[in-house]
Amino acid sequence: MEDLFPQILKLLGIIWINIILSGDNAVVIALACRGLPEDKRRIGMVLGAGVAVGLRIIFTIVVAALLTTPFLKIAGGLLLLWIAVKLLQGDDEEGGVKETDRLWHAVWTVVVADAVMSLDNVLAIAAVAQDSTVLLAVGLAISIPLIVAGAALIMALLDRFPLLVWAGAALLGWVAGEMLISDPWLIGQLGQDISHKAEIPIAIVGAILVLAIGYVSRQRAATDEA
């Protein structure tokens, strides 16, 4: 039972991060399929999302395997910190997604857009799942249908309760800190024992850093608009 609880927490983390980071992907699906006839719109959304899920699982497994390479977790941790701050700044873009009345063109648009926009999801989920391919696949299998089916509801909730976005960004900062300190090169330099002891403090620093930079950026943006 003690071994099961951490796995459940990781699974919940994968689902949460994927939902938080996939708001833009859900919008892409809606934009790409809105020009389809009513009888094909649902089919287009399901097919596009299904292929995108398969590709994302493959990409994430590849990224998770590569994270054992020295220095890659350091780079990945820094990139995750940037992604978390960008999430709080709210400058995601869905431009360039055109509607079409052809089913397979819409499906292809969804797949390509999702592949291009999913680096943040893939990196974050691979970091949370670590070496568990089962957790990875289950987390994605649960969260993607939730995103597709409830895209409008999820986006409304995130707009209504901004704290959820801030909490998600803090979680990304936490994961980034854990990823960075667990890099094979750093472990070799610091030693396994020190690296393990520093994991939680560095994760806390990562979460606080993201929230602080996000807050300052928003305050500066509000001042510039005033």
pLDDT, one tens digit per residue, over 6-38 is 778 877 877 777 777 666 666 666 666 667 777
* 3-class DSSP state of 67: coil
pLDDT band for 75, please (50, 70, 90 cuts).
confident
Q: How far is CA 58 from the centre of its chain?
A: 15
Percentage above 90 pLDDT, the chain: 8
Q: In the chain, where are the structural domains located?
A: 4-225
What pLDDT does residue 95 have? 43
Q: Cα–Cα distance between 68 and 155 in angstroms, integer?
A: 35
The answer to whether the beta carbons of residues 43 and 103 sit under 8 Å apart is: yes
The pTM for the full model equals 0.64
Q: What is the mean pLDDT of the chain?
A: 75
Q: Cα–Cα distance between 28 and 172 in angstroms, integer?
A: 23
Query: Quick one: average pLDDT of 56-75?
Result: 78
What pLDDT does residue 92 have? 46
DSSP state of 92: -
DSSP state of 60: H
Query: Quick one: average pLDDT of 213-221?
Result: 86
**Whose CA is closest to 62, among 72, 47, 51?**
72
What pLDDT does residue 119 have? 62
Query: Quick one: average pLDDT of 184-198?
Result: 89
Give the H/E segment covering residue 97.
none
Q: Cα–Cα distance between 165 and 19 in angstroms, integer?
A: 10
**Whose CA is closest to 177, among 220, 216, 128?**
128
What pLDDT does residue 202 have? 93
Asked if residue 208 has pLDDT above 90, the reply is yes
